[in-house]
C-alpha cells in the first residue's frame, strides 16, 4: 500500500459521516432511533393487551424489575460476578491465543508444531465439551472460566497469526537495511503492523466471551446474570428474564465500546480509523 | 543547519523555532548546488571484483569489475531485468554474491552495512510512526535532533509530526531520503526512487538529490531506466547489458545542468541509448 493510496482512502472515509459536533449528535440519535422506537411499540402492544404479560412483560415492568434488583443489590452482585468470570476467562484464553499467535507468526517451528492442531480444534464448537467440562471441574468457577478461555483463545490466535503473516515484507526488509535488531523489529514493525488484525480478533473474542458465559451460567451456577435469569424462569418472573437479556446486551456493548476506544487510540495512524489527525504521538 | 532544531508541541503540532526551514515553495531557489571544491570527503570507494550472481540456473551478473571512486555520482542504466537492482542489493549487503568480492571503503561487504543506505523505489515508511520517528528509525543517540535536522535538510521540517499516510509521493520519498541521511552514510544507493513520481516532482527531487549529494559528499549509485535522468545527474553513466558492462561513460557537463536545453547532454543521451 503506497502512502498516496492510503491518503485517498482516508478522504473517502472522512466524507462518509458528518464530523461536526451537531453532526455527531445526529449520528448518535440515528443509531439509537431504531431500538427506542421498538421499545415504544412494545410498550403500547403490552398495555393494549396484544402481548401477554406472562410471555413478554412490558418495558415498564422490566424497568420496575431493574429498579427492584438494583435496590436489593442482586443485579450489581450478579453482574460483577459475571464480569469477573468473563474477564478471567478472556485474560487466560485470550492471552494464550495471543501468545501462540505471536510465536507461530514469527517462528516457523512453532507454526509447524501448533498450527495444524489449532486449525483442527477451532472447528470444534467449544460448547460441545460442556458435559466433559462438568465432569472435569464440577460446576464450580473453574468450569465457566475454562469454557470462556477455550472460546476466546481461537479468534485471538487466528487473527494475531494472520496479522503477522500479512505484514508487508518490504517494510521488514527496510527495517533490516536500517539496522533494526530482532527486538526493535518486533516492537516497531511486526507488532504495530499486526495490531489492526489483533484488535479484530479481540472483538470476536469479546463476543464469544459473553456467549459462552451465558450458556455456562445457565447450565450450572449459583450466581451471575445467567443464574439470575434461569432462577427467574423457575418463578415465571419474565420481567427479570428480559432484564437479564438486556444486561447482557449492555455488557456486550460496553466491551465493544472499550475496544473501539482502544482502536481509535492505537490505530490513529490508520486512515480508516483516524478520528483526530492531530492526536498525540504513539511512538 | 548546524543549530539543533527544537520543537514546542502544541496539540501535537510542531512549532518550529530557530530555523525556519525551507518550505515547499522555497525549495527550488535553495537548490543551487555549491561549488565542487567545498564538498566534504565523506564518500567511500566501492570496489566490485569479479562479481557474479545467479538465481537458480539464470546468471544475472557475470564477472563484473567496477571501481566507483569516493564521492562519485554513478548512474547505472539498463533494461528491466538486466541485473541493476540485483547489483544494488549486493552492494547493500541484502544478498550475497555467487562469487566475487565487494568492498566499501576498503572493507569487504559480508552483511548489511551501517555506512551504506538504500533508497527503495517506494518510500517504505512505517505507517504507524510519525514522520520524525520514521526518519530516526535507527533510534541512535539524540535521534530526534538528528532526524529533525535531516528533515529540515530535505525541506520537510514542518511535517515532522504528520502521519506518513497524508504525505504525497514526492514528500514520502523526501522523508525516505532524510531517513537515509540521518546516519551520514558513505554510500547512498538509489533504486529508481523517482520512477513513480510525476515529471515536475521528479525534477524537484533531482535538484534536491544533487544539492544533498554536494553537501554530504557521499558516493552515490543511482539506478534508473531514464537515460535523461542519468545524464542530468551523474558524473558517470554505466550501461548494464547481459550481466556485464556495455558502456562506461564519464559525463563532464558543468553543474547545475540544464537537462534537455543542453545539446551536449542530448548527444550523450543518444550515445547511451544506442547501447541500452
Residue range A253-274, pLDDT digits in tens: 898 899 989 988 888 888 877 6
Helix (H), strand (E) at residue B107: strand B107-108
Q: Would you say residue A6 has pLDDT above 60?
A: no
Whether residues B137 and A175 touch (CB distance < 8 A) is answered with yes
What is the predicted pLDDT for the residue at B11?
Answer: 43
Mean pLDDT across B190-215: 89
The distance of A7 to chain B (nearest Cα, Å) reads 5
- A161: helix, coil or strand? helix
Structural domain that includes position A198? 72-266
A178–chain B Cβ distance below 8 A for any pair: yes
User: Is A135 inside any structural domain?
Assistant: yes
User: Is A53 inside any structural domain?
Assistant: no
pLDDT tens string B140-178: 888 899 999 999 989 999 999 999 999 998 999 999 999
Q: Would you say residue A55 has pLDDT above 50?
A: yes
Please state, in angstroms and rounded to a whole number, the distance separating the CA atoms of residues B202 and B208.
10
Question: From the centroid of its chain, how far is CA B38?
Answer: 20
pLDDT tens string B70-120: 999 999 998 887 888 899 999 998 889 999 999 998 888 888 888 899 999
A234–chain B Cβ distance below 8 A for any pair: no
Architecture label for domain B56-115+185-276: 3-Layer(aba) Sandwich (3.40)
Lateral strand order in the sheet of B58-68: B58-68, B46-55, B99-104, B107-108
A20–chain B Cβ distance below 8 A for any pair: no
- Which CATH number covers residue A212? 1.10.3720.10
Q: Nearest CA to A256 among A10, A241, A248?
A: A248
User: Is A41 inside any structural domain?
Assistant: no
pLDDT grade for B259, boundaries at 50, 70 and 90: low
* Residue whose cell numbers read 453482574: A79
- Range ranked top by mean pLDDT from A46-60, A190-204, B11-25, B252-266: A190-204
- For β-strands B99-104 and B107-108, DSSP reports them as antiparallel
Q: Would you say residue A276 has pLDDT above 70?
A: no
Whether residues A281 and B133 touch (CB distance < 8 A) is answered with yes
What is the predicted pLDDT for the residue at B3?
Answer: 45
Q: Nearest CA to B182 among B151, B159, B210, B208?
A: B151
A174–chain B Cβ distance below 8 A for any pair: yes
B150–chain A Cβ distance below 8 A for any pair: no
What is the predicted pLDDT for the residue at A186?
Answer: 94
pLDDT grade for B199, boundaries at 50, 70 and 90: confident
The distance of B163 to chain A (nearest Cα, Å) reads 6
Nearest to B92 among A177, A271, A283 (CB): A177
Average pLDDT, chain B: 82
The total number of structural domains in chain A stands at 1
pLDDT grade for A220, boundaries at 50, 70 and 90: confident
Whether residues A173 and B94 touch (CB distance < 8 A) is answered with yes
Please state, in angstroms and rounded to a whole number, the distance separating the CA atoms of residues B118 and B153.
18
Whether residues A3 and B114 touch (CB distance < 8 A) is answered with no
What is the predicted pLDDT for the residue at A109?
Answer: 93
Q: Where does A190-270 have alpha helices with state H?
A: 191-219, 225-234, 238-266
Within 8 A of A281 by CB-CB distance, chain B residues are 12, 130, 133, 161
pLDDT tens string A192-205: 999 999 999 999 99
Percent of chain A with pLDDT over 90: 42
User: Is A13 inside any structural domain?
Assistant: no
Please state, in angstroms and rounded to a whole number, the distance separating the CA atoms of residues A48 and A54.
14
User: CA–CA distance from B73 to each of A171, B45, B83, B252 (Å)?
Assistant: 27, 11, 19, 12
Amino acid at each position: 500500500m503506497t502512502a498516496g493510496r492510503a491518503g485517498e482512502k482516508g478522504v473517502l472515509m472522512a466524507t462518509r459521516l458528518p464530523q461536526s459536533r451537531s453532526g455527531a449528535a445526529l449520528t448518535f440519535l440515528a443509531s439509537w432511533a431504531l431500538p427506542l422506537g421498538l421499545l415504544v411499540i412494545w410498550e403500547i402492544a403490552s398495555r393494549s393487551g396484544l402481548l401477554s404479560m406472562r410471555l413478554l412483560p412490558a418495558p415498564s415492568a422490566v424497568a420496575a424489575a431493574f429498579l427492584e434488583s438494583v435496590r436489593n443489590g442482586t443485579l450489581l452482585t450478579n453482574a460483577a460476578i459475571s464480569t469477573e468470570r468473563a474477564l478471567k476467562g478472556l485474560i487466560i484464553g485470550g492471552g494464550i491465543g495471543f501468545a501462540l499467535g505471536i510465536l507461530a507468526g514469527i517462528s516457523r517451528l512453532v507454526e509447524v508444531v501448533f498450527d495444524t492442531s489449532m486449525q483442527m480444534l477451532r472447528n470444534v464448537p467449544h460448547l460441545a465439551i460442556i458435559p466433559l467440562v462438568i465432569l472435569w471441574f464440577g460446576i464450580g468457577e473453574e468450569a465457566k472460566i475454562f469454557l470462556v478461555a477455550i472460546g476466546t483463545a481461537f479468534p485471538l490466535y487466528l487473527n494475531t497469526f494472520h496479522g503477522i503473516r500479512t505484514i508487508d515484507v518490504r517494510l521488514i526488509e527496510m527495517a533490516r537495511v536500517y539496522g533494526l535488531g530482532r527486538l526493535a523489529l518486533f516492537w516497531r514493525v511486526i507488532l504495530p503492523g499486526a495490531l489492526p488484525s489483533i484488535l479484530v480478533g479481540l472483538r470476536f473474542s469479546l463476543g464469544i466471551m459473553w456467549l459462552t458465559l451465558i450458556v455456562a451460567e445457565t447450565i450450572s451456577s449459583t450466581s451471575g446474570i445467567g443464574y439470575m435469569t434461569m432462577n427467574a424462569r423457575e418463578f415465571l418472573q419474565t420481567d427479570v428474564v428480559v432484564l437479564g437479556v438486556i444486561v447482557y446486551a449492555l455488557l456486550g456493548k460496553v466491551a465493544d465500546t472499550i475496544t473501539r476506544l482502544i482502536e481509535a487510540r492505537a490505530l490513529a495512524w490508520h486512515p480508516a480509523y483516524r478520528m483526530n489527525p492531530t492526536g498525540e504521538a504513539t511512538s | 543547519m548546524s543549530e539543533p532544531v527544537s520543537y514546542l508541541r502544541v496539540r501535537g503540532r510542531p512549532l518550529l523555532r530557530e530555523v525556519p526551514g525551507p518550505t515547499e515553495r522555497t525549495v527550488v531557489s535553495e537548490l543551487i548546488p555549491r561549488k565542487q571544491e567545498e564538498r566534504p570527503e565523506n564518500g567511500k570507494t566501492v570496489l566490485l571484483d569479479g562479481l557474479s550472481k545467479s538465481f537458480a540456473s539464470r546468471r544475472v551478473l557475470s564477472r563484473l569489475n567496477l571501481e566507483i571512486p569516493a564521492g562519485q555520482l554513478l548512474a547505472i542504466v539498463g533494461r528491466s531485468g538486466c541485473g541493476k537492482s540485483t547489483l544494488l542489493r549486493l552492494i547493500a549487503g541484502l544478498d550475497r554474491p555467487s562469487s566475487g568480492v565487494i568492498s566499501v571503503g576498503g572493507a569487504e561487504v559480508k552483511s548489511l552495512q551501517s555506512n551504506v543506505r538504500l533508497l527503495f523505489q517506494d518510500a517504505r515508511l512505517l505507517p504507524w510512526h510519525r514522520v520524525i520517528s520514521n526518519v530516526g528509525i535507527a533510534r541512535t543517540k539524540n535521534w530526534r535532533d538528528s532526524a529533525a535536522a535531516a528533515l529540515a535538510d530535505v525541506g520537510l521540517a514542518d511535517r515532522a509530526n504528520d502521519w506518513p499516510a497524508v504525505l504525497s509521493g514526492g514528500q514520502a520519498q523526501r522523508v525516505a531520503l532524510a531517513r537515509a541521511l540521518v546516519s551520514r552514510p558513505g554510500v547512498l544507493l538509489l533504486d529508481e526512487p523517482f520512477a513513480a513520481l510525476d515529471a515536475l516532482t521528479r525534477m524537484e527531487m533531482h535538484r534536491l538529490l544533487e544539492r544533498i549529494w554536494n553537501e554530504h559528499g557521499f558516493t552515490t549509485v543511482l539506478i534508473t531506466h531514464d537515460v535523461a535522468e542519468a545524464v542530468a545527474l551523474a558524473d558517470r553513466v554505466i550501461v548494464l547489458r547481459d550481466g556485464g558492462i556495455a558502456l562506461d561513460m564519464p559525463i563532464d557537463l558543468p553543474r547545475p545542468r540544464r537537462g534537455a536545453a543542453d545539446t551536449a547532454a542530448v548527444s550523450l543521451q543518444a550515445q547511451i541509448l544506442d547501447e541500452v
